[in-house]
């Protein structure tokens, strides 16, 4: 196998002193650059080409891997995923071994596959885009990691005060055709009330909308458990008929990769969606706040390669 570049984040959740030597030994012909040494993730492409590397491996959590993946879109450098984070949604979605050394063996085997990349107003994402309540709460959720009971009270208070938004979704196909196959009859009747058979747009009020490129995001929330990263489509989930308590219970039930189909969510399968609202709605891309609104979200099939 040709020479590769390893980007290693020693601050990721499950790293330890013996891990890096084991990764280097397994990957063999590879040069290592610490993630912190990159002036910006986009530097990885220049760094790989200067060193004569034909592929890149990223060892870290979803934040590290996502940042490196975003830099590689369109660069014709395949990515190896080495999951050493807390949740490792990206690796789980692609069935990459969660053992870092086993993941390196997959890279050395050299088998590549194209995967889809989501773009929101031109910005890439890999797991999930959220608009609404979850995006509003993400910064507070990160702050909780640093401890303090008062942070929990702040999170709960923000959730209680958060309003529903009137969303309009416009798809690349008729709304009735876009509905997921396992949609309940009740949800189908609901959709028919708001959109005709040939209409491509639907208006629904909701606490949040998610656009999933993979099955998981956040704390391994299985928000779209049947979603695949290589089928050219998104799952758009509208949390229309949830109270805040029901929504909190639902996300508790699907955390850590558990699967639970909940008929209150109205889900669509599309390759492109425009999301608008008269409100200014907070947005996150793979858990990172993004000041973009309204949204034009498209799936670009096979936009990058992974091992």
Q: Are 57 and 147 in the same domain?
A: no
Q: Are 107 and 174 in the same domain?
A: no
Q: Are 139 and 75 in the same domain?
A: no
Q: Are 275 and 163 in the same domain?
A: yes
Looking at every residue in the chain, the average pLDDT score rounds to: 90
Single out the residue in 90, 111, 132 at which a domain terminates.
111
Q: Are 36 and 169 in the same domain?
A: no
CA-CA distances (angstroms) from residue 76 to 22, 88, 191, 229?
A: 27, 24, 41, 18
Q: Are 55 and 131 in the same domain?
A: no
Q: What is the pLDDT of residues 247-271, one digit of tens each?
A: 888 888 888 887 765 657 899 999 9
- Over range 14-32, report the average pLDDT: 92
CA-CA distances (angstroms) from residue 191 to 175, 197, 199, 236, 274?
A: 8, 10, 11, 14, 17
Q: Are 89 and 138 in the same domain?
A: no
Single out the residue in 111, 133, 160 at which a domain terminates.
111
Q: What is the pLDDT confidence band of residue 172, given thresholds at 50, 70 and 90?
A: very high
Q: What is the pLDDT of residues 99-120, one digit of tens each?
A: 999 999 999 999 999 999 999 9
Does the residue 292 lie in any domain? yes
The parent domain of residue 271 ranges over 123-306
Which is it for strands 55-60 and 4-8: parallel, antiparallel or unpaired? parallel
Q: Are 141 and 276 in the same domain?
A: yes
Does the residue 147 lie in any domain? yes
Q: How many CB atoms lie within 10 A of CB 274?
A: 16
Q: Are 164 and 242 in the same domain?
A: yes
Q: Which one, of 63, 105, 70, lies nearest residue 87 by Cα?
A: 63
Does the residue 117 lie in any domain? no
Q: Are 164 and 28 in the same domain?
A: no
Is a pLDDT exceeding 70 seen at residue 293?
yes
Give the domain CATH number at 295: 2.60.200.40
| Per-residue confidence (pLDDT) for residue 154, from 0 to 100 | 58
Q: Are 161 and 251 in the same domain?
A: yes
Q: What is the pLDDT of residues 131-170, one digit of tens each?
A: 999 999 876 555 545 555 455 555 566 788 899 999 999 9
Percent above pLDDT 90 for the chain: 72
Q: Are 158 and 302 in the same domain?
A: yes
Q: How many CB atoms lie within 10 A of CB 153?
A: 10
| Per-residue confidence (pLDDT) for residue 159, from 0 to 100 | 80
Q: What is the pLDDT confidence band of residue 200, given thresholds at 50, 70 and 90?
A: very high
Does the residue 85 lie in any domain? yes
Does the residue 116 lie in any domain? no
Does the residue 301 lie in any domain? yes
Give the domain CATH number at 96: 3.40.50.10330
Q: What is the pTM (predicted TM-score) of this model?
A: 0.92
**Alpha helix ranges (H) inside the chain:** 19-27, 43-50, 62-72, 89-93, 100-109, 133-144, 149-161, 175-178, 185-194, 244-254
The tally of domains found in the chain comes to 2
Q: Is 4 exposed, middle or buried (0-12, 13-18, 19+ CB in 10 A)?
A: buried
Q: How many CB atoms lie within 10 A of CB 173?
A: 13
Helix or strand or coil: residue 208?
strand
Does the residue 59 lie in any domain? yes
- Over range 170-191, report the average pLDDT: 85
Does the residue 252 lie in any domain? yes
Q: What is the pLDDT of residues 67-94, one digit of tens each?
A: 999 999 999 999 999 999 999 999 999 9
Lowest mean pLDDT among 15-24, 227-236, 275-284: 15-24
| Per-residue confidence (pLDDT) for residue 269, from 0 to 100 | 97
Give the whole-angstrom CA distance, residue 138 versus residue 110.
36
């Amino acid at each position: 196998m040709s020479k590769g570049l390893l980007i290693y984040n020693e601050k990721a959740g499950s790293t330890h002193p013996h891990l890096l030597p084991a990764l280097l030994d397994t990957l063999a012909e590879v040069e290592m650059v610490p993630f912190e040494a990159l002036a910006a993730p986009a530097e990885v492409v220049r760094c790989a080409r200067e060193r004569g590397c034909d592929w890149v491996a990223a060892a870290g959590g979803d934040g590290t891997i996502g940042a490196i993946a975003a830099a590689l879109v369109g660069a014709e450098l395949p990515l190896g995923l080495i999951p050493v984070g807390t949740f490792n949604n990206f690796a789980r979605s692609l069935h990459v071994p969660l053992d870092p050394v086993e993941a390196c063996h997959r890279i050395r085997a050299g088998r590549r596959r194209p995967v889809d990349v989501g773009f929101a107003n031109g910005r890439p994402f890999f797991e999930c885009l959220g608009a609404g309540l979850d995006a509003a709460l993400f910064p507070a959720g990160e702050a909780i990691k640093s401890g303090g009971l008062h942070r929990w009270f702040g999170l709960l208070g923000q959730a209680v005060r958060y309003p529903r938004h009137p969303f309009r979704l416009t798809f690349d196909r008729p709304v009735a055709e876009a509905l997921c196959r396992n949609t309940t009859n009740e949800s189908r009747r609901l959709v028919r009330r708001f959109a005709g058979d040939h209409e491509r747009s639907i208006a629904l009020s909701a606490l949040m909308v998610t656009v999933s490129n993979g099955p998981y995001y956040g704390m391994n929330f299985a928000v779209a458990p049947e979603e695949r990263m290589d089928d050219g489509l998104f799952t758009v989930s509208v949390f229309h008929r949830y109270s805040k308590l029901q929504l909190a219970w639902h996300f508790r039930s699907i955390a850590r990769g558990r699967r639970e189909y909940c008929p209150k969510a109205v889900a669509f399968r599309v390759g492109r969606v425009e999301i608008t609202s008269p409100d200014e709605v907070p947005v996150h891309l793979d858990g990172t706040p993004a000041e973009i609104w309204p949204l034009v979200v498209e799936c670009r099939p096979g936009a990058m390669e992974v091992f």
